[in-house]
Amino acid sequence: MTIDVLVEINLNKKDKTFTYLVPDKFKEDISIGKRVLVPFGKQVLEGFILGIGNDKSIDLKEIIDVIDKEAILNKELIELGKKISEDTVSNLVSVYQSMLPKGYKASKKSTLKEKTVIYIKINAKNEVLDYIASTKSVKQKEVLEQLLVTDLPLKELNSSVNTLISKGLVSKYFKEEYRLKTDNVEHVVKELNKDQINAYNQIINSDKDIILLNGVTGSGKTEIYMSLIDKVLSLGKEAIMLVPEISLTPQIIDRFKSHFKEEIAILHSALSDGERYDEYKKILKKEVKIVVGARSAIFAPFTNIGIIIIDEEHSNTYKQDHNPRYSAIEVAFLRGKYHNAKVILGSATPTIESYARSKKGYYGLVELKKRANNAVLPIVNIVDMTKEIRKGNKLFSKELLLSIEDRLNKKEQILLLINKRGYSNYLMCENCGSVKKCPHCDITLTYHKTSDMNRCHYCGYAENNTNICPECKTNSLRQMGYGTEKVEEELIKLFPSIKTLRMDIDTTTKKGSHKEIINSFMNHEADALIGTQMIAKGLDFPLVTLVGVINADTILNLPDFRSCEKTYDLLSQVSGRAGRSNLPGKVIIQTYNPDNYAIKLSKTHNYEEYYNEEIKIRKKLYYPPYSFIALIKIGGKDFKETINESNKIGDYIRKKVKEEVVLGPSVGSVSKINNVYYFEIIIKYRNKELVIDLLNEIKILTENNKKIKVEFDINPNSF
């Protein structure tokens, strides 16, 4: 017997497998989709079995071991991986590796196992009852009475349990314990209101495979998701529910947990390897029927999927930002098709592409225009900061200050969004005007007050803070702009008695810290929560009646054709946090661009109105949905060589795709990261097949070129 193995190494021949001989002792264990250990040159590598045969060549090497007891990739996932590898122009083995949770990597095999716990149970109820009646030992009585109710872990019982074991009244046994613990939150299932029932029925009865559920924030989309999943479960099928970044939206998990109880597995990046291993095993062992998770949960090895729901479908976290750069939404379409399951895309602010497709009838469109529990959408005021600056109000406008004061008096809560972490934005020399940059990247450093360090948010470089300008050597470096830390500090200066919480990457690195902050704010232990984008999504705080956006222009100024769309999304999402219960909400948006359509239109909560503006611009500039976009990023340590190689690639592409628009090579949006120079080529195209084939060809052609590293990003999140 021989097997074809895809080894975990990037080879210049894309997706090439190697044939190995299977010694007799392993023959029984071999099946497609399992992993094996194989000798490869001088190394021992892990690989996936993709074929079984009977190759008679004489010089084949033997496999060393079979890693998995059960196939870890089923037939569907094996084929799916091949398609994704083509579509994203990436190595097949990297796609398969992305499909598996981290704890499943063979290198971790020795450390990760099921966790077992010793449990105690009573042997015979009657004997125990007799014993309780006769014994004088209070401690023994206590143990037995506890055990009469339920079996318990040994370590939770008092020491008299050993006596009881030796008397034969109780005994030990081993039980597998799942590591992930979630809070027990009561969520009362709401009876769907008329609009929700209507939406639910439209979804169930639609003849479309993909349906866009466009509902304003708080319209009760999550309740509809739960009803849809109930229905799917009643048909004996399984459900996948994706959320943008689950560690930021623990409230959704709580709601799902309390409704679906043990039926659910949770997968996201904030879990420990052990927790993730356990949750994944629940799926493989068919102990659960629902998985709620972030991007990679789309690969959950279910075999009978009835529905795939993607909440906040506009979120850019569904696209992986490193190789393989797959989109979980595209993967959902493929899996939906395979299982004949509906895919639901939910959002208050769908991507322009999704909305356009639903308008064209490629997707079904279901809309919810009102909030569910009779809450009204908040009033949004836009404040022109150019006028405020003249009055000396740099950070907080008059209106925002008055509103904060008012909420503090009323004991209501405040959310402040500032889309920049750290203390200041950048460091500029007041003497020579130069801006302090990272020595390894073409990016400005950010000052962090808590640690008194200047940090690069790209490569992690950090240096002690100093006021000496590296250019003119005078003592004139000053902090310009502001980040979350500074906003918090200024707020406390203005309102000394205010209690604040801050949520950004710096305050949430510790496991469970997101949740702590959210719970603390929920329990009204603080008046104001200050944060980056993290606070904008999915949170439901009934006491929040004021949302302030300190500076709405941060995204707007990025060189990205989606900058208006992202600005509109963020403003709508964060506005959606205000006035979610019976208290009316107000939103104050501070901006230097009050006339920009994305900012102006965030006032009315009318997505369609915004869409109509945006789509005109997309058409005029031949951007998606009118074209597809591919980004080719060429990086190299030598500046000149990198330009030369980039030009060669550009010329080759131009020759091959005469009909499409090819831009560049030009200097990357960040021209240097970690001492590597970057150039970019952009293709705006309509002929998908032609361009994807060409890029796969270029991948193979450039793989052996040691001077440069070429990366491909189909439909990039930003450029």
Residues forming contacts to ligand ADP in the complex (CB under 6 A) are: 190-193, 196, 215, 217-223, 372-373, 540, 580
How many helices, marked H, and strands, marked E, lie in the chain?
21, 30
Which of the listed partners (ligand ADP, Zn ion, none) does 223 bind, with a CB threshold of 5 to 8 Å by partner kind?
A: ligand ADP
C-beta of 221 vs 295, nearer to ligand ADP: 221
Least distance to ligand ADP from the beta carbon of 244, Å?
12
Residue in this structure with the two tokens 């716990």, named with its chain if needed:
117
Least distance to ligand ADP from the beta carbon of 87, Å?
30
Binding mask 461-500 for Zn ion (x = CB under 5 A): x---------------------------------------
Structure tokens of 249? 């939206």
Structure tokens of 12? 């210049």
Residue in this structure with the two tokens 């002792």, named with its chain if needed:
25
Q: Does residue 324 contact residue 90 with C-beta atoms inside 8 Å?
A: yes
* Residue 387, H or E segment: helix 385-390
Which of the listed partners (Zn ion, ligand ADP, none) does 440 bind, with a CB threshold of 5 to 8 Å by partner kind?
A: Zn ion
CB atoms within 10 A of CB 704: 7
Residue 460's φ and ψ, nearest 5 degrees, are: 85, 0
Q: Is 369 in the site for Zn ion (CB under 5 A)?
A: no
Q: Is 630 in the site for Zn ion (CB under 5 A)?
A: no
Which of the listed partners (Zn ion, ligand ADP, none) does 274 bind, with a CB threshold of 5 to 8 Å by partner kind?
A: none
Query: Pairing relation of β-strands 379-384 and 586-591?
Result: parallel
Which of the listed partners (Zn ion, ligand ADP, none) does 438 bind, with a CB threshold of 5 to 8 Å by partner kind?
A: Zn ion
* Residue 382, H or E segment: strand 379-384
Which of the listed partners (ligand ADP, Zn ion, none) does 196 bind, with a CB threshold of 5 to 8 Å by partner kind?
A: ligand ADP
Separation between Cα atoms, residue 36 and residue 278, nearest integer Å: 22
C-beta of 438 vs 578, nearer to Zn ion: 438
Q: Is 122 in the site for Zn ion (CB under 5 A)?
A: no
Q: Which residues contact 388 (CB under 8 A, 6 or more apart)?
A: 394, 397, 398, 590
Query: Pairing relation of β-strands 305-310 and 238-242?
Result: parallel
Which of the listed partners (Zn ion, ligand ADP, none) does 456 bind, with a CB threshold of 5 to 8 Å by partner kind?
A: Zn ion
Separation between Cα atoms, residue 540 and residue 373, nearest integer Å: 13
Least distance to ligand ADP from the beta carbon of 208, Å?
21
Q: Which residues contact 707 (CB under 8 A, 6 or more apart)?
A: 636, 638, 641, 642, 645
Q: Does residue 344 contact residue 308 with C-beta atoms inside 8 Å?
A: yes
Strand order of the sheet with strand 35-40?
Answer: 18-21, 2-7, 43-53, 35-40, 65-66
Residue in this structure with the two tokens 């090497």, named with its chain if needed:
61
Structure tokens of 353? 């592409």
C-beta of 443 vs 632, nearer to Zn ion: 443
Separation between Cα atoms, residue 333 and residue 328, nearest integer Å: 9
C-beta of 101 vs 218, nearer to ligand ADP: 218
Q: ∠ at Cα 415 (411, 418), nearest 5°? A: 150
Least distance to Zn ion from the beta carbon of 87, Å?
32
Which of the listed partners (ligand ADP, Zn ion, none) does 332 bind, with a CB threshold of 5 to 8 Å by partner kind?
A: none
C-beta of 164 vs 242, nearer to ligand ADP: 242
Q: Is 550 in the site for Zn ion (CB under 5 A)?
A: no
Separation between Cα atoms, residue 157 and residue 160, nearest integer Å: 8
C-beta of 19 vs 193, nearer to ligand ADP: 193
Q: How many residues bind Zn ion (CB under 5 A)?
A: 7
Separation between Cα atoms, residue 578 and residue 379, nearest integer Å: 9
Which of the listed partners (ligand ADP, Zn ion, none) does 540 bind, with a CB threshold of 5 to 8 Å by partner kind?
A: ligand ADP
Separation between Cα atoms, residue 84 and residue 714, nearest integer Å: 11
Least distance to Zn ion from the beta carbon of 436, Å?
12
Q: Give the interface segment with Zn ion, choosing from 294-302, 395-403, 454-462, 597-605 (CB under 5 A).
A: 454-462
Q: Does residue 195 contact residue 270 with C-beta atoms inside 8 Å?
A: no
Least distance to Zn ion from the beta carbon of 522, Å?
37
C-beta of 291 vs 372, nearer to ligand ADP: 372
Q: Is 132 in the site for Zn ion (CB under 5 A)?
A: no
Separation between Cα atoms, residue 660 and residue 317, nearest integer Å: 28
Q: Which residues contact 701 (CB under 8 A, 6 or more apart)?
A: none
Least distance to ligand ADP from the beta carbon of 218, Å?
4
Q: Is 427 in the site for Zn ion (CB under 5 A)?
A: no
Which of the listed partners (ligand ADP, Zn ion, none) does 217 bind, with a CB threshold of 5 to 8 Å by partner kind?
A: ligand ADP
Least distance to ligand ADP from the beta carbon of 585, Å?
13
End-to-end CA distance of the chain: 50
Structure tokens of 417? 């969004």
Q: Is 458 in the site for Zn ion (CB under 5 A)?
A: yes
Q: Is 676 in the site for Zn ion (CB under 5 A)?
A: no
Least distance to Zn ion from the beta carbon of 567, Å?
26
Q: Give the interface segment with Zn ion, choosing from 259-267, 339-347, 433-441, 487-495 (CB under 5 A).
A: 433-441
CB burial string 441-469: b at 16+ within 10 A, e below: bbbbbbbbbeeebbbbbeeebeeebeeeb
Q: Is 435 in the site for Zn ion (CB under 5 A)?
A: no
Which of the listed partners (Zn ion, ligand ADP, none) does 719 bind, with a CB threshold of 5 to 8 Å by partner kind?
A: none
Least distance to ligand ADP from the beta carbon of 501, Å?
21
C-beta of 3 vs 441, nearer to Zn ion: 441
Q: The dihedral of CA 158, 183, 270, 523: what is its sign?
A: negative
Least distance to ligand ADP from the beta carbon of 297, Å?
18
Query: Pairing relation of β-strands 528-531 and 500-503?
Result: parallel
Which of the listed partners (ligand ADP, Zn ion, none) does 461 bind, with a CB threshold of 5 to 8 Å by partner kind?
A: Zn ion
Coil, helix or strand at residue 368? strand
C-beta of 257 vs 436, nearer to Zn ion: 436
C-beta of 483 vs 579, nearer to ligand ADP: 579
Least distance to Zn ion from the beta carbon of 438, Å?
3
C-beta of 520 vs 674, nearer to Zn ion: 674
Q: How far is CA 40 from CA 15, 23, 27, 104, 405, in A?
A: 16, 17, 20, 21, 68
Least distance to ligand ADP from the beta carbon of 545, Å?
15
Least distance to ligand ADP from the beta carbon of 311, Å?
7
Residue in this structure with the two tokens 């939404």, named with its chain if needed:
329
Q: Is 456 in the site for Zn ion (CB under 5 A)?
A: yes
**Closest by alpha carbon to 348, among 536, 600, 629?**
536
Q: Give the interface segment with Zn ion, choosing from 286-294, 450-458, 488-496, 649-657 (CB under 5 A).
A: 450-458
Q: Which of 332, 352, 428, 438 binds Zn ion (CB under 5 A)?
A: 438
Separation between Cα atoms, residue 549 and residue 590, nearest integer Å: 6
Least distance to ligand ADP from the beta carbon of 249, Å?
10
Q: Is 334 in the site for Zn ion (CB under 5 A)?
A: no
C-beta of 221 vs 420, nearer to ligand ADP: 221
Task: Spell out where 289-339 has E strands.
Answer: 290-293, 305-310
What are the residues binding Zn ion (CB under 5 A)? Answer: 438, 440-441, 456, 458-459, 461
